[in-house]
């Protein structure tokens, strides 16, 4: 999200070209810290269960649900819903990576270096 050239090779021009992270005031790159401060007064029931409290199966299920709804949320949800989706995805994925720092990488998913 930090590059100044879009994937199609054209430079970013208007605000319409901005990524969700650039358009949403809740997101400035340090989303976990910023959202913790922003969400301090929010209704805890709307924020979801703390990922650290989820078992491995529940954590995977929650991540699967978010990834399944990602495109519709990105394309059609209100900015506040997208911000919540981004925050929750980051929380769950951060917890997953903390639990599985040596996760197994599928060699077929690697790109050739040459």
* Interval 73-89: pLDDT, tens: 999 999 999 999 999 99
pLDDT score recorded for residue 62 = 94
pLDDT score recorded for residue 39 = 45
pLDDT score recorded for residue 114 = 52
Q: CA 109 → CA 37, 93, 96, distances in Å?
A: 37, 19, 19
pLDDT score recorded for residue 104 = 87
Q: CA 23 → CA 1, 4, 77, 90, distances in Å?
A: 11, 15, 14, 17
pLDDT score recorded for residue 110 = 87
Using DSSP, state whether 39 is helix, strand or coil. Answer: helix
pLDDT tens profile 17-52:
655 555 555 444 444 444 444 444 455 556 788 999
């Amino acid at each position: 999200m930090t590059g100044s050239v879009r994937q199609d090779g054209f430079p970013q021009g208007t605000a319409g070209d901005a990524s969700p992270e650039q358009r949403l005031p809740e997101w400035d790159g340090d989303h976990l810290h910023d959202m913790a401060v922003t969400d301090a007064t929010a209704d805890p029931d709307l924020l979801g269960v703390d990922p650290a409290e989820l078992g491995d199966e529940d954590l995977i299920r929650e991540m699967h649900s978010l990834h399944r709804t990602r495109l519709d949320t990105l394309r059609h949800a209100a900015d506040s819903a997208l911000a919540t989706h981004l925050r929750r995805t980051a929380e769950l994925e951060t917890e997953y990576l903390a639990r599985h720092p040596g996760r197994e990488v599928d060699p077929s998913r690697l790109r050739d270096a040459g």
